[in-house]
């Protein structure tokens, strides 16, 4: 009886699905390394490496995943809240990332300047400008969804299509290079740790503290479960949905600044490309229902880094960058199918039948 009870507890754990997915990705790497005659545990090896630009830093596949997956993890925070409150996804986050990065670099370099090593305005002005642009985009999306009752995917499709073009206009149709050490620091290393990962950890910590120390988390889940009932109970459901989209836009701004600082430039056509898919997949992989309601932020973060681990693994297996989205799309289909009501009911019936046989 005890082992069965323990297994039931494990299966009922909110992080069961994302942890299993992450372990499966790790197993693929272990098997692949073993088959190719490499150390099976090389995936987990972390060393200190001396570099010319960043000094002594942590190096290894896990560090690379934590570093490269940070933008998707930051986006997943806002996407989780949006999905929970509105039962819809914000497909504009990748394009908003690009717009925020373009606006930030334009401010730092000056309009019409394609490359600079000196900042036209203080760094804080450019960064705050990028964050403000993200918040404004979130307000636009939130207004359409919360107050005009437009379906989230349709509402966010506007900025999905237009944000990159607006970014190009702000940059005067140029790729703006900001080759300044203070700006590049956001995408470099803080001591031995990747700065993007440190920024992600701070964003997650602040969000979790706010959600746990205030009633905001409960309000978001309540509105997502039943909008009308929440309104009758006295909650301003429109304002809560609006707020989640503003938060999502703000995190898109942070992710855009981190992404552009890696390459010390604003490439409107490529920054955040396909990252909206990674953010949505991270939410689903984190065990969150895409139908809204209850959410698990920790699961979404694990899901985001799992997606990056999948990407890294695909590249190691020889899959090209152009082909990788196909495999991610298959994973999305599987996850959505597993979460569907018919599949859940099927497994419940199977479990109930086994229980009846065991009693008999």
pLDDT, tens only, 173-220: 999 999 999 999 999 999 899 999 999 999 999 999 999 999 999 999
DSSP string, 79-129: HHHHHHHHSS--TTHHHHHHHHHHHHHHHHH-TT--EESS-SS-HHHHHHH
Q: Is the pLDDT of residue 39 over 70?
A: yes
Query: Which residues on neighbouring strands pair with residue 115, listed in sequence order?
Result: 177
CB 266 within 8 A of CB 176: yes
185/190 Cα distance (integer angstroms): 8
Q: Is the pLDDT of residue 248 over 80?
A: yes
Q: Tell which wins on pLDDT, 45 or 319.
A: 45
The answer to whether position 332 is within a domain reads no
Computed over every residue of the chain, the mean pLDDT equals 89
For residue 1, name the pLDDT band (cuts at 50, 70, 90): very low
pLDDT value of position 336: 66
pTM of the model: 0.91
The answer to whether position 187 is within a domain reads yes
The answer to whether position 349 is within a domain reads no
CB 187 within 8 A of CB 258: yes
For residue 360, name the pLDDT band (cuts at 50, 70, 90): low
For the chain, how many structural domains are there in total? 1
Q: 258: part of which helix (H) or strand (E)?
A: helix 237-263
The answer to whether position 9 is within a domain reads no
CB 277 within 8 A of CB 160: no
pLDDT, tens only, 98-108: 999 999 999 99
pLDDT value of position 329: 76
pLDDT value of position 82: 97
pLDDT value of position 340: 66
The answer to whether position 84 is within a domain reads yes
For helices 237-263 and 216-225, the axis angle rounded to 10 degrees is 110
**% of the chain residues with pLDDT over 90:** 62
Domain span at residue 234 reads 68-273+289-295
Q: How many Cβ atoms sit within 10 Å of the Cβ of residue 259?
A: 27
pLDDT, tens only, 221-231: 999 998 888 88
The answer to whether position 360 is within a domain reads no
The answer to whether position 328 is within a domain reads no
pLDDT value of position 29: 87
pLDDT, tens only, 111-143: 999 999 999 999 999 999 999 999 999 999 999
Q: Is the pLDDT of residue 260 over 70?
A: yes
Phi, psi of 25 (to 5 degrees): -65, -40
What is the mean predicted confidence (pLDDT) over 340-358?
72
Q: Is the pLDDT of residue 352 over 60?
A: yes
Q: Which of the residue ranges 185-194, 311-320, 331-340 has the most confident prediction, judged by mean pLDDT?
A: 185-194
Q: Is the pLDDT of residue 242 over 90?
A: yes
pLDDT value of position 3: 55
Q: Tell which wins on pLDDT, 307 or 335.
A: 307
pLDDT value of position 11: 67
The answer to whether position 354 is within a domain reads no
pLDDT value of position 202: 97
Q: Tell which wins on pLDDT, 8 or 103.
A: 103
298/241 Cα distance (integer angstroms): 21
CB 259 within 8 A of CB 187: yes
pLDDT value of position 182: 95
């Amino acid at each position: 009886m005890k082992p069965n009870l323990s297994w039931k507890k494990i299966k009922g754990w909110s992080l069961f699905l994302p942890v299993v997915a992450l372990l499966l990705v790790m197993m693929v790497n272990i098997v692949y390394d073993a088959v190719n005659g490499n150390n099976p545990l090389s995936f987990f090896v972390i060393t200190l490496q001396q570099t010319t630009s960043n000094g002594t830093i942590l190096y290894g596949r896990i560090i690379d995943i934590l570093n490269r997956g940070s933008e998707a993890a930051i986006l997943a925070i806002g996407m989780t809240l949006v999905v929970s409150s509105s039962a819809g996804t914000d497909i504009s986050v990748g394009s908003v990332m690009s717009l925020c990065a373009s606006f930030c670099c334009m401010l730092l370099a000056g309009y019409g300047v394609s490359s600079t090593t000196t900042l036209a305005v203080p760094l804080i002005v450019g960064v705050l400008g990028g964050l403000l642009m993200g918040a404004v985009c979130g307000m636009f999306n939130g207004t359409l969804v919360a107050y005009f009752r437009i379906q989230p995917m349709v509402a966010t499709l506007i900025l999905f299509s237009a944000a990159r073009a607006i970014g190009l206009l702000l940059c005067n149709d140029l790729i703006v290079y900001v080759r300044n050490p203070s700006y590049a620091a956001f995408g470099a290393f803080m001591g031995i740790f990747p700065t993007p990962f440190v920024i992600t950890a701070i964003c997650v910590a602040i969000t979790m503290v706010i959600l746990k120390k205030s009633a905001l988390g409960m309000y978001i889940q309540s509105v997502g479960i039943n909008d009308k009932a929440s309104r009758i109970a006295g909650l301003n459901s429109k304002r809560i949905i609006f707020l989640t989209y503003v938060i999502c836009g703000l995190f898109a701004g942070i992710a855009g600044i981190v992404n552009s600082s890696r390459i010390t430039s604003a490439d409107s056509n490529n920054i955040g490309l396909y990252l909206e898919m990674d953010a949505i997949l991270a939410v689903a992989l984190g065990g969150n229902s895409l139908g809204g309601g209850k959410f698990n932020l920790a699961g979404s973060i694990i899901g985001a880094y799992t997606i990056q681990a999948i990407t890294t693994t695909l590249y190691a297996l020889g899959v090209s960058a152009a082909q990788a989205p196909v495999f991610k799309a298959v994973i999305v289909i599987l996850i959505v199918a597993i979460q569907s009501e018919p599949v859940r009911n099927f497994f419940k019936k199977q479990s109930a039948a086994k229980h009846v046989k065991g009693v008999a």
